[in-house]
A and B are shown apart, each in its own frame.
Chain A
Amino acid sequence: MVGFTLDEDQKQIQDMMNKFAANELRPIARDCDENSELPEEIMEKAWELGFCPTMIPEKYGGYEMGRSAVNSAIMVEELAWGDVSLSLGTLSPLLMMIPILEFGTEGQKEEWLPKFCGEKFFPATGALMEPRITFDPIKLHTTVDRDGDQVILNGTKCMVPLAQQAEHILVYASKDKGAGAASVEGIVVDKDTPGLTIGEREKNMGLNPLPLFPLTFKDCAVPKSRVVGDDQGIDYMRLLNLSRANLCAMAVGVSRASYEYARDYAKERIAFGEPIASRQAIAFMLAEAAMEVAGMRMLVWRAAWRLDRHEDATREATLAKMYCAEQTMKIVDYGVQILGGHGYIREHPVEMYFRNGRGFAAMEGLATG
């Protein structure tokens, strides 16, 4: 029956993540952005929150507390409200964990899942995006070919989080270049595999603290046992939709961060004898931002809810992505605008939200949960 109230568990998650975001992420966000740094300390602190083992069944060493895309959305909204880049960094192991949890063979689950339940941060990641203007996540150009008891990878990837640090990378490739979702497989590749070259760290408009890398595969041979789900494979659309739901939740988080900051600033900033928030031009931007944050969140939750019921969520996730990308850009733009010249300086966080917010339209597969 239709309802939108958080239950006790969800309120706790929200509260816990909000506190972590406020106390741990926000205080270091600006410095990390200036220095393009992802401190090991924050990765370990986030690891202690335990969101990996929480989702993993006991028999693989986890706490088996259940998994929910809706709860994930609630969690990552708060983390992204703290800082998008640091959040993506701490969440990158999920890029490998989720596909194995959902679609791995028993052997693969036994081999990999326990690694996500250890005391220390387990660096793992996923590679989905490819460096071309017309990149379409459903029609991948990176290919995977069968060769006896091996598979051979060819192609290029970009925006791979923590690739240098990760020991294993879950790579998405197509059995038939440019064909659709049914042709896509996920392959766990070890970092030092011959044929895999990790390029120089990328420089982007935003996400500065997050180390992102390009990858090149040239006749990169990997044991067939590394194909997730073996012959059964993966439901790539489901994984893509899970990623979209999470990324959109993060878009809601950064939008909310921008709007709240601008709102509080506008109440204090005096011009023409009164706070600028007393002028409709400013007040209406804030009202629109508040309204759209609420609207975006509904579309995100709806997509996540369907995913939790294992229903096809392509329509809902696509609409959410389109809507959230557009509204987020508008809201983070308002954030800078409301602060005027001060919004343009790298002191207030709004210019950072602006740079980070623009990414959501292009980002795919950078988050999942």
Chain B
Amino acid sequence: MIDFEVSEAAKVVQDMAHEIAEDAFRKIARYYDDHEHEFIKETDEIIKKMNMVGLQAMSALQEQGGKGSTILAMLRQEEYNWGDAGISLGATNLGLGNAAIFAVANEDQRNRFGTRYASMAITEPCCGSDTANIQATAKLDPETNEWILNGEKIFVTGGEHCELVVGWFSLDRSLGRAAIKSFVIEKGTPGMTVTKLEHKLGIKASDTAAIVFEDCRVPYENILGNPEIQPKKTTATGFKGAMKTFDATRPYVAIQAIGVARAALDFTKEKLEKEGYTFPYDLSQHELSVVQKAILDMEANLDAARLLIWKSAAMLDTGERNSLDASFGKAKAGRAATLVTQKCVELLGPLGYSREWLVEKWMRDCKITDIFEGTGQIQMLVIARTILGFNRDQLK
């Protein structure tokens, strides 16, 4: 059915999340932007509050007959990011690594790793978008039945305060993407060192780490998914499986952008209204002022982006393959949100540029959303290959 109704129960969840965003996140937003790398002491408190919302979401889910859990998550995620994207990423106990574990871990692994905060370590100095070309290696020591991991990972979100690292390593670089597997490494394992925390343009409250692996040994059982290299076969738990995980996480990443952009737009409208601007929806195109048109354009673009994300989220709930729609959502959101936050700073003149207001920070925070989890250009490439039916050789 085509339905845009957010249920009453879902609205309660959304309101709860919004309250936390306003009370807890916004209050500390500027502080952690000014104090990069300082440990977020409010983390436990925030996690407790978010867990309450999580419980409310479970109750709402029941009221909805068990359907629509991803949409409920979208509603929360948008509010938390409306509050603060950096805090949202920094003061959390669930990471991208958890998504990977959830997707492919076996019973034993689930028991051992539980729901401890797991970061995802893929990118290396040489390769970001070109994930198939990573140079980190994993070699099996047959005597001790351990994997020996070597390599350098960068841009690991939550790499500092996570308890587990899910890292991508190659079993045999000559065999390309088929030989790339993921491994779970517990913090404290000898040979794994956080060597650097990045200084960033935005989302400063989120720790972004470089992690070096030097003959780091992990038990055989820490490999996620099938350890066999199957060059011709695409397996559900191999590289393709990892990509499928991204289809599932892409809506979550995309909705972050919407949250931040909406914060900027809400704020900008409020400030302009105080200056006497109005934003009616029934003015003809010749009557609209430049400012009014800009606001309406931003609203339309954000709404379109949000709905594309919701569509991909709804497909997850109904078990449909959502790769193309997930890419639509991420591509549109990254681009639209970035432009919205930039336009908002522009519309607010010199005060928009000042650190007195959070809007300049939201523009800085938002920029990453068109880059991480697949840049906007890679999304375009994925979309293009899909609609053309072209492989990597046919469209580079």
CA distance A135 to B286 in the complex (A): 8
Contacts A1-B67, A283-B384 hold; do A295 and B328 have CB atoms under 8 A apart? Answer: yes
Q: For chain B residues 336-389, which have a beta carbon within 8 Å of chain A?
A: 377, 380-381, 383-385, 387-388
For the complex formed, measure the closest distance between the CB of A70 and the CB atoms of chain B, giving whole angstroms: 5
Nearest chain B residue, comparing its CB with the CB of A133? B286
Residues on B with C-beta less than 8 A from A10 are 2
B296 touches A319 (CB 8 A): yes
A318 engages B387 (CB within 8 Å): no
| A291 at interface by CB-CB < 8 Å | yes
Contact, CB under 8 Å: B282 / A294? no
Identify B390's interface contact among A277, A314, A322, CB under 8 A. Answer: A277
Closest chain-A Cβ to B306's Cβ sits at a distance in Å of 9
Is A205 located at the chain interface by the 8 A CB criterion? no
Q: Give complex CA distance A237, B281 in Å.
A: 12
Contact A288 B299 (CB under 8 A): no
B5 at the interface (CB under 8 A from A): yes
Is the C-beta of A287 less than 8 angstroms from some C-beta in chain B? yes
Query: Once the chains bind, are B307 and A302 in contact (CB under 8 Å)?
Result: yes
Chain A residues, Cβ within 8 Å of B286: 133-134, 136
> Does A277 lie within 8 Å of B388, measured CB to CB?
yes
In-complex Cβ contact of A291 among B5, B68, B314, B332 (8 A): B332
In whole Å, how far is B387's beta carbon from the nearest beta carbon of chain A?
Answer: 5
Instruction: Give Cα A138 to B281, complex, Å.
Output: 11
**Bound Cα distance from A232 to B328, whole angstroms:** 45
User: Which of B10, B281, B325, B381 touches A283 (beta carbons < 8 Å)?
Assistant: B381
- In the docked arrangement, what's the CA distance between A287 and B7, Å? 33
User: A286 touches which one: B281, B314, B387 (CB < 8 A)?
Assistant: B387
Is B109 an interface residue when CB atoms closer than 8 A count as contact? no
Interface of B is mostly: helix
Does B163 make an interface contact (CB < 8 A)? no
Most buried by A among B67, B311, B318, B325: B311
> Count of chain B residues with Cβ under 8 Å from any Cβ of A?
48
CB within 8 Å for A305 and B380 given contacts A290-B387, A318-B296 = no
Rounded to whole angstroms, the CA-CA distance of A361 and B5 in the bound complex is 29
User: In the complex the two chains form, what is the Cα distance from A149 to B320 in whole Å?
Assistant: 61
- Is B243's beta carbon under 8 Å from chain A? no
Chain A binding surface SS class: helix
Q: Identify which of B5, B325, B381, B395 gathers the most chain A CB atoms within 10 Å of its CB.
A: B395
Assembly CA distance A190 to B240 (angstroms): 66
Would B388 and A283 count as touching, CB distance under 8 A? yes
State whether A305 touches B395 (Cβ < 8 A).
no
**B317's closest neighbor in chain A, by CB?**
A3
Mark interface residues in B275-308 (1 if CB within 8 Å of A CB, else 0). Answer: 0000001101111000000001101110111011
Whole-angstrom CA separation of A266 from B395 in the bound complex: 12
Say yes or no: A299 contacts B387, CB within 8 Å: no
B68 / chain A contacts, CB cutoff of 8 Å: 1-3
Q: Which residues of A line the B interface, CB within 8 A?
A: 1-7, 10, 70, 133-139, 180-181, 237, 263, 266-267, 274-275, 277-278, 280, 283-284, 286-288, 290-291, 294-296, 298-299, 301-302, 305-306, 314-315, 318-320, 322-323, 361
Interface residues of B (CB under 8 A from A): 1-7, 10, 64, 67-68, 71, 281-282, 284-287, 296-297, 299-301, 303-305, 307-308, 310-311, 314, 318, 325, 328, 331-332, 377, 380-381, 383-385, 387-388, 390, 394-396
Pairs across A and B, CB under 8 Å, 13 listed = A1-B67, A1-B71, A5-B318, A138-B284, A283-B388, A284-B384, A286-B388, A295-B304, A301-B2, A305-B2, A306-B4, A319-B299, A319-B300
Given contacts A278-B395, A290-B328, A299-B304, 13 further A-B contacts (CB under 8 A): A1-B10, A2-B3, A4-B2, A134-B284, A136-B287, A280-B395, A284-B384, A295-B304, A298-B307, A305-B4, A318-B281, A319-B300, A322-B297
